[in-house]
Amino acid sequence: MKIWLYDTTLRDGSQAQGITLSLEDKIKIARQLDAMGIPFIEGGWPGANPKDVQFFWKLKEEPLQQAEIVAFCSTRRPHQVAAEDKMLQGILAAGTRWVTIFGKSWDLHVTESLKTSKDENLSMIQDSIEYLRLQGRRIIYDAEHWFDGYKHNRDYALTTLKTAIAAGAEWLVLCDTNGGTLPHEISQIVSEISTAIPHCPPLGIHTHNDSGTAVANAIAAVRAGATMVQGTINGYGERCGNADLCTLIPNLQLKLGYECLPPEKMAQITKTSRIISETVNLAPSERAPFVGRSAFAHKAGIHVSAVAKNPITYEHIVPEAVGNQRHIIISDQSGMSNVLHYAKKFGIKLDKNSPQCRQILEQLKILENQGYQFEAAEASFELLMRSYLEERSPMFELHGFQVHCNISSEESYSQTKALATIKAKVGKHYLLEVAEGNGPVSALDRALRKALVKFYPKIAQFHLTDYKVRILDGKLGTDATTRVLVESSNGKQSWTTVGVSGNILDASYQAVVEGIEYGLLLESLAKTKVTQY
């Protein structure tokens, strides 16, 4: 059975706290949704702001490949003529074939929000839809606050739907606007409509997540007969958000057998989720079902061992079905299976019965107890493994470092400058270098690179891309242990290393040194592969 997907990320999703989309953002998101195979994309409310007007103009000049772009608007204002309503003129100017009009289903909103009569509300629905139909538009009618309206005044709520049908609406979308309805209520009410309205047009469902049941409610509606689902990528939306299409689509298609996307497009769901989270500048949820980085992550040794034998023991679907992948996490919860998994991943030969394998596992748990976190610093864990396998040679010996900071006030702002001095030995060569930075870690990193680049020229290509600090036992104040994560890159690959100490500079130094060492290890391994080939 075909389920029509209707994405409202660009309109309802953009109403979420913390999201502001530029015109370029909206265009990028629309094209990604189009590439994913979403058939209906709600672009916004043309006329409400200049940006939405420009958005529809832009897509008229450069149309989408397959999706219908939909303009959104309310019914005409009370006691006006639809043909003279400026809001509806803006809708026509957008030039879309499909238009979504929303109207009031709950008589409370008619009298309290619109301050008009129930009969006038019916006229507003009828006039607006009839006028747009005469202009050649196809209509999706969103019955706002439908479920609350139905529960408080069933007859009037049904009358609003019948009015929309008579006026020419091709879809009736039932909206749980306040998000307070539960799945069993959704099922019952949607099922009752086919009896209450013979020859009813296709039904859609639009749910909000205020009760944490938006996805469950949408599934309940589909099972009761709805054939359109409205939602947003990553569940963005006002208050607690909307039904998350990244969760809803896999459940409907992979679990229940409905046809939502072309099969070859299902693997784009994770990619789309992450592209859009990046575009709206919100960190993706690590624990999001199906698309989160932790959705197929395994940490406990028993889990890892079982998954290695048969993934279905702890995975409800194949991660690749939605474009995600399995993650085996290394931590103090790990068993031998985790260590062997990472050895294979790193290209290291390791026998599970060898004493080194047991030593690596024991050292891992000791270090994690001290505050190290290898889950987010796989590069440091690889270096640890190579140490026990005697595959790690020290690059240099540290003979000490000093960092000095100077805060000077210039005009109306303060500027911090740091100076780092490092003493080291490479082979038989003793080194003393100094470098400045905009902070102590920056200065230390520059001094270290300046000293080592003479012996390891590839270091010139390395640079820090991220730096994170975590205080592990804050109740100790300035005596607390600090964990530092440093992300480095050579322009082609990125890797993360970790350092832990009661001194933030020492922790930073550990992470920076291992970052440089791991970058050189990658270069060495790459050369080895080329030579072997």
- DSSP secondary structure of 242-311: B-BHHHHHHIIIIIT--B-S-GGGGGGHHHHHHHHHHHTT-PPPTT-TTTSTTTTEE-SHHHHHHHHH-G
pLDDT tens, position by position, 95-141: 999 999 999 999 999 999 999 999 999 999 999 999 999 999 999 99
Model pLDDT, residue 408 = 63
Please list the residue range(s) of the chain that carry CATH number 3.30.160.340: 458-533
Q: Residue 164: is its pLDDT beyond 80?
A: yes
Model pLDDT, residue 332 = 55
Model pLDDT, residue 294 = 85
Model pLDDT, residue 48 = 80
CA distance 146 to 103: 10
**Does residue 438 sit in helix, strand or coil?**
coil
Model pLDDT, residue 293 = 83
The architecture CATH gives domain 458-533: 2-Layer Sandwich (3.30)
CA distance 122 to 157: 10
Q: Residue 407: is its pLDDT beyond 90?
A: no
Please list the residue range(s) of the chain that carry CATH number 3.30.160.270: 396-455
Sign of torsion, CA 320 274 217 202?
negative
pTM of the model: 0.72
The confidence band for 28, taking pLDDT boundaries of 50, 70 and 90, is very high
CATH number of 297-388: 1.10.238
In this structure, whether the domain defined by 4-279 belongs to CATH 3.30.110.30 is answered with no
CA distance 248 to 315: 18
The architecture CATH gives domain 396-455: 2-Layer Sandwich (3.30)
Model pLDDT, residue 74 = 96
CA distance 311 to 351: 22
Q: Residue 329: is its pLDDT beyond 70?
A: no
Structure tokens that stand for 185 in this block: 């209520």
Q: Which residue has the higher pLDDT, 278 or 33?
A: 33
pLDDT tens, position by position, 244-302: 999 999 999 999 999 999 999 999 999 999 889 888 888 788 899 999 988 988 877 67
Q: Residue 491: is its pLDDT beyond 90?
A: no
pLDDT tens, position by position, 495-507: 999 999 988 888 9
Q: What is the arithmetic mean of pLDDT over 318-339?
A: 78
Please list the residue range(s) of the chain that carry CATH number 1.10.238: 297-388
